[in-house]
Amino acid sequence: MNSNLQTVLINLMQKQKLSMSQLHRHTGVPITTIQRIKDDPTLNPSVASLLPIANYFNITINQLIGVDELPPDEALHKKNNIIQIPVIDWRDIRIWPKSCHYEPEKYLTIDLPLNENSFGLRIEHHLLNFPMNSIIVINFLSKPINNDYVIITNNVSNNASLFQYIEFDGVEYLKPLIEGIPPKKLNKKNDVLIGKILQIRLDL
């Protein structure tokens, strides 16, 4: 599987004439990680490294690692829109975008197709596959597919949390990113989807 990842990534970069430094700037994945993926067929990168690369090329992680076929070349994403999005506080998620407790001090320059009112969040504590102090880019109100990572607010607790979205036999589940806590069924009455993670910035 890892040798497939190596081959797929090299081919994708060649097709779009991307250097490692360009892919790094687009995804936030360190150049050293990209280099290891290209050089070491035995490497087993984390989801935190694979997800932003897959999202950049508009493919799934399974397509990136060679489990599923790649889409036609014309379906692969090419960068053409550069925008800035605010990095907001976790406490502002449930009221976003109506108001904010403060004017965001940090903005991210993004060249991914994003819905209006998309934003960034800093990971304040280490979570499974998400290093502390990394910044995640949330595509606001974007509908997730199986295995996507999502931000959910709960109408009862008023808390915002990061989950992995899982769909199995037509039932939707939310898997916490803390080891030992089992998935729970999505409660459409109380669990509100804010958006899905489109990118992880590891170098900020």
Task: Name the band, by pLDDT with cuts 50, 70 and 90, for residue 142.
Answer: very high
In Å, how far are 13, 84, 155, 169 from 113, measured between CA atoms?
19, 12, 29, 30
Q: How far is CA 176 from CA 80, 93, 128, 161, 182, in A?
A: 34, 18, 9, 8, 7
Domain limits of the chain? 2-75, 83-201
Q: Of 152, 142, 159, which is closest to residue 183 (Cα–Cα)?
A: 152
Residues of the chain with pLDDT > 90, as a percent, come to: 42
Instruction: Give domain 2-75's CATH number out of 1.10.260.40, 3.50.50.60, 3.90.480.20, 3.40.140.10.
Output: 1.10.260.40
Is 168 in contact with 183 (CB distance < 8 Å)?
A: no
Would you state the pLDDT for residue 189?
A: 93
pLDDT higher than 60, residue 143 = yes
Q: How far is CA 177 from the centre of its chain?
A: 14
Confidence (pTM)? 0.61
- The better pLDDT of the pair 142, 109 is held by 142
State residue 99's pLDDT score.
66
Structure tokens at 132: 């502390």
Each residue of 84-104: pLDDT tens digit?
788 998 988 988 887 655 566
> Across residues 143-169, what is the average pLDDT?
93
| Tens of pLDDT, residues 170-187 | 999 999 998 889 999 999
Q: In what order do the strands lie in the sheet with 191-201?
A: 107-110, 83-88, 119-122, 135-140, 191-201, 149-154, 160-168, 171-176, 184-185
Q: Phi first, then psi: what are they for 38, rounded to 5°?
A: -70, -30
Q: What is the pLDDT of residue 81?
A: 56
Lowest-confidence segment of 5-14, 74-83, 169-178 by average pLDDT: 74-83
How far is C-alpha 102 from the geometric centre of its chain's CA atoms?
A: 25
- Average pLDDT value over all residues in the chain: 85
- Give residue 1's identity as a one-letter amino acid code: M
Condensed to tens digits (0 to 9), the pLDDT of residues 26-35 reads 787 888 899 9
Q: Please tell me the predicted confidence (pLDDT) of residue 3.
A: 65
- Same fold: 2-75 with 83-201: no
Q: Is the pLDDT of residue 1 over 50?
A: no
CATH dotted code for 83-201: 2.10.109.10
pLDDT digits (tens, 9 = 90+) for 18-62: 888 778 877 878 888 999 999 988 888 888 889 889 888 888 888
